[in-house]
Structure 1
Amino acid sequence: MELEKKQYQIDFSKIRDRVRVFAPATVANMICGFDILGFAVDEPGDEVAMYRVAEPGVRIRSIAGDDGRLPLDADKNTVSACVKMLLAHLGLENELGVEIELTKHMPIGSGLGSSSASTVAGLFAINNLLGDPLSKAELMPFCVEGERIACGHGHADNVAPALMGGITLIRGYSPLDVIDLPVPNELYAGIVFPQVDVPTRDARQLIKQKVLLKDAVTQWGNIAGLIAGLYESDYKLISRSMQDVLIEPTRAILIPEFYEMKRIALSAGALSFGISGSGPSVVAITRGRDVAERATAEIQQHLTGCDIDSLKYVSAVNIGGPKVLG
């Protein structure tokens, strides 16, 4: 990770004793923008409580809501590992001690940026504890490293919207270039998480490394159309642009009842429907909350009839990103 070396003024007398932070879940790819688009939602999300302690170093006190799946080892957990990186970058690794309590309010492996929410919450918390010496843009590379630890691929389509809020475009990685996009007032997401297992690594391995030029051209047009639609608040343009011809056809086979869920959502009035991140969560993009509520309720009813348990979330786009709770 290449980071610009600069001097940060840390006033130890102003370091807080504790802070509690919430960071939101995210919908990566935004259907047609694989690895370059994403947006944050109001719920679910994760919480990190961080405490200043006398003994230098970073330790995890507890993790709740993960069913024992996440490591307590500070070098292996994305939250603590990224906090350690940040403290080392600031030259504080041997001067400051912190302990972390992580509370998972979102399912792991859901396609909703579970690791991203935790990482962003942890980095936002340590930065706030220190008096906010780094901007969000300066925190971003540490968030990306958290994704590399979690899934082996340092992408930003989850961490960028989780940290910045709103809808983000990852224009490039060398250097990292994150662009905030406008959010139409009535844009909503109806998310359904079918409780089936689709590991991120497995989902990525299914993706074709080569695509037909005609399909690439279609996808480029859809991404450009979506961005234009966001700037113009043109819901018809947003709807016809949010089509994925590259990734969805492959990943959909891992998600039971995907095409029936899509039919239900579109029949309920959704602008578009697709996979959130690597799945298995799916998302109906709608104009207005009532359509999102109706689409998710009908999808859940269908899944129940197929003996598939599910969770649902309905949210406008989260504009603020992480927030200090206390």
Structure 2
Amino acid sequence: MEKIRVYAPATVANVACGFDIFGFAVNNPGDEVVLEKKSTPGIVIKEITGDDGRLPKAVEKNTAGIAIQKYLAHIGREDQGFELSLHKDMPLGSGLGSSAASAVAGVFAANELMGRPLSQKDLLPFAMEGERVACGSAHADNVGPSLLGGFIVIRSYDPLDIIQVPVPADLYASIVHPQIEVNTKDARGILDKEISLATTITQMGNVAGLVAGLLLPDYELIGRSLVDVIIEPSRAILIPGFAEVKAAAIASGALGCSISGSGPSLFALSKGEETAQKVAKAMAAEFAALGIGSEQYVSQINQKGPVVLAD
């Protein structure tokens, strides 16, 4: 192949109690990359659409560009050049892994065009380098599920140890992205640097309970475990109407509701698509009552990760 078109999905990181260790992929939204081989070395970012001109075209500063560059260096093929076009099909700074989806789509496309010298899981470190460019930290709770699909547990970063956890077939996510901005640095800076032993024990119980709930499967246990006593209390103040939106989600049948990544998007998990649709509408209605517009997405947990699209 000389040219390929790849779609990589958005993700929900943290998943309430699992700060920096949990993440799952959704079917939509996502990012799309068109990658084409060229006869001379080097990566050229031809165009970026859907970003309102906010993203850099310099390869070293672009998440997709740097991921491909690091990948080519690793396989010893820096002689191979690429022309890249990126279409952002999700809001920037949404808490839905926008930078991760671009990096994943880019490096997955490059690996396909090079004849798949690496397994899909082995592409993870290069996608993580895209995250380093985007936010200064090579974290995996967005790129992991975007690349591998499903629900991901990051047990360790040194060494990198990532586990895919099976999820119930009827588990659906409702995601509402309010049209406000939350700066990731602000969202991290507001967090407490120390937490009590009692709080830690409560959070550990919820982390274990959520994994057990997914595996059993036990929807009620999933709901009881979707409680964050460490991060959410601090970050909730950055999102207008958070308490009301969360309450509306629960009242509409959601198992639980929390902040997606660093926000401002909120997610809820529900049993069944009908309930998930109802939950998304109720959450959006609460934002609308405050004069805040939003985008809504309802999806099963995406088990595929990136996919090749037909031209």
Gaps of 5+ in 1: 1-15
* Secondary structure in structure 2 of the residue aligned to 1:274: strand
Find the counterpart in structure 1 of residue 175 from structure 2. 191
Q: What amino acid sits opposite 1:194 in the alignment? A: P
Q: Deviations over 1:107-162 (max 9, x none)?
A: 00000000000000000000001111111221011111111111011111001000
Q: What amino acid sits opposite 2:56 in the alignment? A: P
For the pair 1:215 / 2:199, whether they are aligned, the reply is yes
Q: Deviations over 1:267-298 (max 9, x none)?
A: 00100000000000001110111111111112
Find the counterpart in structure 2 of residue 275 from structure 1. 259
Q: Percent identity?
A: 53
Gaps of 5+ in 2: none
Larger mean Cα displacement after TM superposition, 35-44 or 77-86:
77-86
CA shift for structure 1 position 305: 2.1
Rounded Cα–Cα distance in structure 2 between residues aligned with 1:32 and 1:131: 39
Rounded Cα–Cα distance in structure 2 between residues aligned with 1:62 and 1:285: 36
Over 3 Å off, 4+ runs: none
For the pair 1:138 / 2:126, whether they are aligned, the reply is no
- Partner residue of 2:69 out of 84, 88, 93: 84
Rounded Cα–Cα distance in structure 1 between residues aligned with 2:229 and 2:179: 25
Find the counterpart in structure 2 of residue 55 from structure 1. 40
Find the counterpart in structure 1 of residue 3 from structure 2. 18
Instruction: Check the 8 A contact 2:66/2:129 in 1, yes or no.
Output: no
TM-score (norm 1): 0.94
Q: Deviations over 1:244-279 (max 9, x none)?
A: 000000000000100000110000010000000000
Rounded Cα–Cα distance in structure 2 between residues aligned with 1:304 and 1:234: 33
Rounded Cα–Cα distance in structure 2 between residues aligned with 1:278 and 1:109: 9
Q: Deviations over 1:17-56 (max 9, x none)?
A: 1000000000001111000000000000000000011121
TM-score (norm 2): 0.98
Q: What are the within-5 Å matches in structure 2 for residues 162-177 of structure 1?
A: 162-177=146-161
Q: What amino acid sits opposite 1:175 in the alignment? A: P
Rounded Cα–Cα distance in structure 2 between residues aligned with 1:304 and 1:168: 32
- Partner residue of 1:75 out of 56, 60, 84: 60
Find the counterpart in structure 2 of residue 156 from structure 1. 140
Q: What amino acid sits opposite 2:87 in the alignment? A: T
Rounded Cα–Cα distance in structure 1 between residues aligned with 2:121 and 2:281: 38
Q: What amino acid sits opposite 2:212 in the alignment? A: A
Larger mean Cα displacement after TM superposition, 311-320 or 81-90:
81-90
Q: What amino acid sits opposite 1:102 in the alignment? A: L
